[in-house]
Amino acid sequence: MNTQQMGKPARMLLFISSILLPFVVYLPIWKIELDAPQYPEGLSLQIHANDIRGNVDIINGLNHYIGMKTMHKEDFIEFSILPYIIIGFSILFFIGAWINRKKLLYTLFSAFVLFGIIAMVDFWKWEYDYGHDLDPNAAIQVPGMAYQPPLIGFKQLLNFGAYSMPDLGGWIFIVIGLMLLTGVILELRFSKSPKSVLFFLPLLFLFQACTIEVKPIQVGRDNCHFCKMGISDIRFAAAILTKQGKTLPFDDLKCLLNYLQINKETAVQDIYVSNFSGKHELVLATQAYYISSPSLGSPMTGNMAAFNDKNELVKNNQALAGEEKTWESIRQ
């Protein structure tokens, strides 16, 4: 067997990648969704390889009042070259599968990852300029306020919640990257060189950076996602972390449960509750201990306190004389 050639699985993955990649030219790669009380149906931007679509005109009209530039596809040189880069990679993947050399696979994978990093840096730079380069004569001006959308995940911008994530084309792009990574792993699986370990260190940092986390609730700034009241008592606050990385804050566990009852389609990653004692940090709802007592007087009369520690629950319950609850019984 020629040790310079790829195995059949890696070669097949490279060939499949060459077939899938052209679809990215015709599908939306990234999307930014905006929601606010005055737009309950939400607004969205869909970024394609050669265009920007969605509610562009409405968002341009809104952004005019706060001094942000209007968006037009003619302003982005990326739209004129990105389709050719994508097709170019597709052709190179096909050639790589045909030539069948391990080093070519490693080179193509490295180039593809580098291209993805450069594309994300370019996207972040565009978002930064878009959110910071404001018209000083705008009708609405908030001192010190910038309107840079999130690169990925959720961010609150005044009364708008902005959520950024890959769209269908972007997920295909990611799947192709993972397929190429699988091919590289298969070819390195028998390698005993320390260099093969170093090869994957940047990927570990990348996966760590993509980990989604619940955002801390800010008293006096965040509003309950269900009743829209301002969150004023952190002891009773709760939050939902969606699978898309968005944090939905609530001023009372009762509001959170009511929201889930109405919005059963919500893609929930985890549910968090505020620790009633200590620093009132958010803890996983499934790992907390609960007391139900009318004397708690929570904001929306849910009257439920959560504790990260069983001893704290016992100590507080001596004064509250409440009923101990489990998360399973609360969800029923």
The residues, ordered by sequence, that sit 6+ positions from 277 with a Cβ below 8 Å of its Cβ are 307, 308, 309, 312, 316
- pLDDT tens digits along 83-107: 999 999 999 999 999 999 999 999 9
The count of other CB atoms within 10 Å of the CB of residue 170 is: 18
Distance between CA atoms of 21 and 9, rounded to whole angstroms? 18
**Helices vs strands, H then E, count in the chain:** 11, 12
Residues 275 and 181 in one domain: no
Interior angle at CA 111, CA 2 and CA 82, nearest 5: 135
Residue 171 and residue 27 in one domain:
yes
- At residue 211, the pLDDT reads 58
How many domains does one find in the chain?
Answer: 2
Round to the nearest angstrom and report the end-to-end CA distance of the chain.
62
pLDDT score recorded for residue 104: 92
- Looking at residue 71, what DSSP letter applies? P
Does 94 fall in a domain?
Answer: yes
User: So what's the pLDDT on residue 2?
Assistant: 56
The answer to whether residue 294 sits within a structural domain is yes
Q: Encoding tokens for residue 69?
A: 């530039």
Which are the contacts of 188, defined by CB distance < 8 A and separation ≥ 6? 196, 199
Encode pLDDT of 203-236 as tens digits: 545 554 455 688 899 888 889 999 988 998 999 9
Spatial distance between the Cα atoms of 5 and 102, rounded to a whole number of angstroms: 6
Looking at the fold, whether 63 and 130 belong to one and the same domain comes out as yes
Range of the domain at 139: 8-209
Instruction: Please provide the average confidence, as pLDDT, over all residues in the chain.
Output: 87
Question: Residue 278 falls within a domain, yes or no?
Answer: yes
| Assigned domain for 215 exists | no
- Residue 247 domain-assigned (yes or no): yes
My answer on whether 164 and 48 are in the same domain is yes
One domain, residues 200 and 71: yes
pLDDT score at 6: 87
Q: Residues in the chain, how many?
A: 332
Burial class (CB in 10 A: 0-12, 13-18, 19+), 100: middle
pLDDT at position 137 is: 84
**Does 17 share its domain with 97?**
yes
248 plus 197 within the same structural domain: no
Q: Which of 220, 267, 262, 279 is nearest to 240 (CA)?
A: 267
197, 261: one domain: no
Residue where the block lists tokens 């059963």: 264
pLDDT in tens, 49-86: 999 999 999 888 888 888 888 888 888 899 999 999 99
Strands (E), 258-322: 268-274, 282-284, 289-292, 304-307
Q: Which one of 209, 243, 278 terminates a domain?
A: 209
Residues 140 and 179 grouped into a single domain: yes
Confidence (pLDDT) at 65: 83
Regions in the chain scoring below 50 on pLDDT = 1, 192, 194, 196-198, 201, 204, 208-209
Residue 149, domain member (yes or no): yes
pTM to 2 decimal places: 0.62
- The answer to whether position 98 is within a domain reads yes
**Residue 223 resides in a domain:** no
Query: Across-strand partners of 155?
Result: 162
pLDDT (0 to 100) of residue 1: 47
Assess whether 274 and 157 both reside in one domain.
no
pLDDT at 3: 66
